[in-house]
Chains A and B, each alone.
Chain A
Amino acid sequence: MKKFTSDIVIGLEIHTELNTNTKLFCGCPTKGSEEPNTRTCVTCLGMPGSKPVLNKKAVEFALKLCMALNCEISPELVFSRKSYFYPDMAKNYQISQYEIPLGKKGKLRLGSGKEIGITRVHMEEDPASLVHPAGMKESAYVLVDYNRSGNPLVEIVTEPDLASPDEARDFMKQLIIVLSYIEIFDVNEGIIKADANISVKESGYTRVEIKNITGFKEIELALMHEVNRQQNEIKNNKQIHQETRAWDSEKGVTFSIRKKETEEDYGYIIDTDLVIIDITEKWLNEIKKHMPELAQDKVRKFVEKYRIKRDDAEIIASDRQLAEMFEKVAEKVDPNLAAKWLRRELVRVLNYNKKEISESGINERHMIDLLGLIEKKKITDAVGQQIIEKLIEKPFDVNEYVKKEKLEAVSDFSELEKYCKEAIAENPKAVEDYKKGEAKALNFIVGSVMKKTKGKATPKEVNDIILRLIK
């Protein structure tokens, strides 16, 4: 048993869906028709005589995760039966892993650099989903939809290394970045759920489990609530019991579902319907070939090689497509300029249009051309922003576009001075105000010049000219 020192001790058990095309032990599709019980067969319905056949793709996905989390990988893949009766179970046992998990003794680093131990990573099948037609408590009956039954899941169990709800949230965030990098999880549609074990120093670390928290933002909320609850109970001279609680996300509270006298007994046995599969070096090497460089390695590289700010590096690296674009762009233009534009402008425009880079049609060529023009002051920042917005709609050749639309910055001094003189003449009140000491009035005149040039002038330059003219 570990000796705890922190005020709060948290360990997580995270279940995440693998985005394979077919289920873990049959050929039924994992996505498609939402009509209940249409993506089913005799195997995922648990019909007598049906047998499971392993989906190798799912194993490869799980192996990628083990590699990404630096786990020791078992030389053999062994499945066990976890027995318990529940209406969402097709066979009243779940095919899972027990003695020999696929991966163990791994680690994942938080944003702060703190390492969190991974106890184990194992594979299992998803049960069916229960539908309560009139709500959880009011329904007179429950319907079962087996579309989800047999979907591939991985369970990731951490050591109790997390010392705050904030760290738990960050762990989930880092994990989701890893999952999306190795492309085994659908960030938009995939389900990620966690059970959290939490205890506080004041209670002598009596462990309470919170079941079934969905999504990483909810985790922090549930844990914050639970820490408060436990600390308040102690303050009020009440005892913390070892128990299992559930999180009600609408009310923002946890509630007790059962007291834990002993550990549950699942009576695990080897599932001999499935054969033990060797995880060979050859297989692992084949998978390794397709492993991308991971986010945390990219952050390090961005800071050390490209000398950009850690904060920028982390944000860019959190999205694999953005990170890969950055690397290519930073080879051609000033990395700091690239970081600023990718992190701020590109992400802003993508978010506004609710698009991924791959869906937008914008590629590194566009960004290199665009930032090249900005770097050489051929176009202004304002024009650059406009071009990105246009690129999202429909990609085009940036250099040609700038020429065709005559968007080059006004660099002819006499032309610029002409616009400035016009603006001063048209705004005598603003000039007067400025002279009286209202600094803001100057901005008004600059803005007027910008309008005349359609953004093709640099505000700083315009500013300088006007100041000189009205002195």
Chain B
Amino acid sequence: MNVPEFVEKIRKNEINIVEHTEKIIEECRKINKEYNYFNTISDGLALKQAHEIKKLIKNKDKSIQNKRLLGVAVSAKDSICVKGVESTAGSRILKGYRPLFNATVIEKVISEGGIIIGKTSQDEFGFGSFSVFSWFGTPKNPFDKERSCGGSSGGPAGIAKKANFPHISLGESTGGSIAAPASFCDVFGLTPTYGRNSRYGLIDYGNSLDKVGAIGKSCYDAALLQEAIAGHDPNDSTSLNAPADDYTEIMEKPVKGMKIGIIKEAFGKGNDKSVEKYVNEGIDRLKEEGAEFEEISLDLPIKYGLATYYMIATSEASTNLAKYCGMRYGAVEKLEGSFNEYFTKVRSANLGDEAKRRIIMGTFARMSGFRDAYYIKAMKVRTLIINEYKKAFRKFDALVSPSVPILPPKFSEIEKLTPLQNYMMDIMLVSPNIAGLPHLSVPVGYEKNLPVGMLLTGDHLQEGKLLQLGSVFER
């Protein structure tokens, strides 16, 4: 049963929402034992919501006709605050932290009738490409438990695939953290334009880069959740003052005549051959539907994207993580010594290696004496990268590349990667993220039962066009 059919049945009172919710909570527990997709299953909140919906249906409340997610299970990446539900962003330093407020996207999901079933696993604060840098267990690939879900939204993508009930995931991307796991888990992952969805209540990684987005089993699911959470939020100064589009309608439009640029530098060297093969098949599918393709060179974003990204993201992250010091919330240690000694003790014991690495890197990049050469230079290159994309979108409706250059790797392989090799996984993904451009990872095929994703990148606020193209691959 797909999401719209399910919502219709709930409205008609053909499914008992409370029993259904109890059943899926049980199912999540079962999946979680094997796959580690949840840091917290919010059964209390989910059942409370289910009872409220049941009451609305019993009272034939008019509002149920407008609630687009009525009764649909929605999971949220752990970095998205849910009031009263432990929200750690995958870090031990936030162990036990229960936010006093809901993120705006959570408020919107709840007001649309969506049921919050839990907080999904991720790399600590979003620092990673394989979800292996987590304090609370690594999520395992739904196709092969020896392999990674990708990261950092590994839990959100894994459960989006594995859930055998109507469900959509809220993920978050800073430098590719939606598209990469979507590609590895065979689901649709939509990273919106920066500022399209509110960041209020999102535990920060890089403030100028973070975006909440939808991950769905179908293109429709991703479009539906995006439709529900988009729009201006006065609590987030960077939220765009643009009305939400009707994505589920727009995606139905034909793709005939759309112009798509094939990013030259994203093909050939460095890619797994099978990845390229299926992405080319995807391109052929779109050609059959009447989309027109042409090659385009995006030298600058591919060459400098990664360096620019790591300078800006870690600079911002190193300031964002400063607040975690064992004073107001989260982990504490024995109180002794000066405040400096105490903060150091708390942070040493409760932040992971990758978090420490990025704090050190980011602090270095913004220190006086280095700041101009790294942080300021990166900010300038960022503008150049945006300009190069903007030039391309004068001609094209979308750009295409593989989402990730490889198939989901085994954990044993990941262990051997150096930090730099780790960062290289996001080579295709960091530049659209730096430029705040919307991008959609679309499942295009399987190599030896392992999924391959194709990346479609659009101009600012053109999520609709990406979903139009994505719907060609609808299941």
Contacts and interface: CB of A to CB of B under 8 A. Distances in A.
Size range of the chain A interface in the assembly: 20 to 34
Contact of B200 (A45, A51, A274): A51
A49 interface: yes
B36 to A, nearest CB: 23
B24 to A, nearest CB: 26
B274 interface: no
A159 interface: no
Contacts of B101: 42, 47, 49-50
Interface string B314-333: 01101100110101110000
A113 interface: no
B237 A51 contact: yes
A87 B81 CA distance: 25
A92 B99 contact: no
Interface string B190-204: 000000000111111
A272 B208 CA distance: 5
Contacts of A273: 204, 207, 237-238
Interface string A83-102: 10111001111000000000
B363 interface: yes
A263 interface: yes
A272 B313 CA distance: 11
Nearest to B321: A92
B367 A267 contact: yes
Contacts of B366: 83, 267-269
A131 to B, nearest CB: 15
Contacts of B329: 47-48
A376 B18 CA distance: 92
Contact of B202 (A42, A49, A93): A49
Interface string B362-389: 0100111001000100010000000000
Given A51-B235, A267-B371, A93 B203 contact: no
A94 B13 CA distance: 53
Interface in A221-278: 263, 265, 267-275
Contacts of B202: 49
B340 interface: yes
A47 B237 contact: no
B101 to A, nearest CB: 6
Given A49-B204, A85-B343, A265 B367 contact: yes
B94 interface: yes
Contacts of A52: 237
Interface string B401-426: 00000000000000000000000000
A54 interface: yes
A84 to B, nearest CB: 9
Interface in B81-101: 81, 87, 89, 94, 97, 99-101
Contacts of B72: none
B257 interface: no
A54 B235 CA distance: 10
A81 interface: yes
Contacts of A144: 327
Contact of B328 (A46, A49, A83): A46
B322 A49 contact: no
A269 B377 CA distance: 12
Given A49-B81, A49-B103, A271-B207, A85 B340 contact: yes
B339 to A, nearest CB: 5
Nearest to B330: A48
Of the candidates A46, A86, A270, the one having the most CB atoms from chain B within 10 angstroms of its own CB is A270
Given A265-B367, A269-B366, A48 B339 contact: no
A51 B236 contact: yes
Contact of A48 (B315, B319, B323, B379): B323
A454 B160 CA distance: 97
Nearest to A93: B319
Given A90-B323, A275-B238, A48 B368 contact: no
Contact of A269 (B199, B201, B375): B375
Contacts, number: 103
A447 B350 CA distance: 86
B44 interface: no
B375 A49 contact: no
Nearest to A144: B327
Contacts of A269: 315-316, 319, 366, 375
Nearest to B80: A49
A47 B207 contact: no
A92 B323 contact: yes
A263 B237 contact: no
Contacts of A45: 328
Contact of B322 (A85, A271, A272): A85
Interface in A115-162: 144
Interface string A290-320: 0000000000000000000000000000000
A48 B97 contact: yes
B234 interface: yes
Given A47-B329, A91-B322, A274 B237 contact: yes
A54 B80 CA distance: 23
Contacts of A86: 339
Contacts of B87: 48-49
A347 B316 CA distance: 55
A67 to B, nearest CB: 25
B325 A85 contact: yes
A258 B40 CA distance: 47
Which residue, A46, A85, A86, A144, has most C-beta atoms of chain B within 10 A? A85
A132 B199 CA distance: 37
A355 B232 CA distance: 48
Nearest to A53: B237
A48 B81 contact: yes
A45 B100 CA distance: 11
B343 A47 contact: no
A28 B352 CA distance: 35
Contact of B316 (A50, A268, A272): A272
Given A42-B100, A87-B327, A273-B237, A49 B208 contact: no
Interface in A157-188: none
Given A48-B203, A49-B201, A53-B235, A81 B368 contact: no
A419 to B, nearest CB: 77
Nearest to A91: B323
Contacts of A49: 80-81, 87, 99, 101, 103, 200-204
9 contacts: A48-B204, A49-B201, A51-B236, A53-B235, A53-B237, A83-B366, A267-B318, A272-B316, A273-B204
Interface of B: 80-81, 87, 89, 94, 97, 99-101, 103, 199-204, 207-208, 234-238, 315-316, 318-319, 322-323, 325, 327-329, 339-340, 343, 363, 366-368, 371, 375, 379
Ranked nearest first, the 4 interchain pairs of A and B with the lowest CB-CB distance are A272-B208, A92-B322, A267-B366, A49-B81
Given A48-B203, A48-B329, A49-B201, 18 more contacts: A45-B328, A48-B89, A49-B80, A49-B81, A50-B101, A50-B200, A50-B201, A83-B322, A83-B366, A85-B322, A85-B343, A86-B339, A93-B319, A263-B368, A267-B363, A269-B316, A270-B379, A273-B237
Interface of A: 42, 45-54, 81, 83, 85-87, 90-93, 144, 263, 265, 267-275
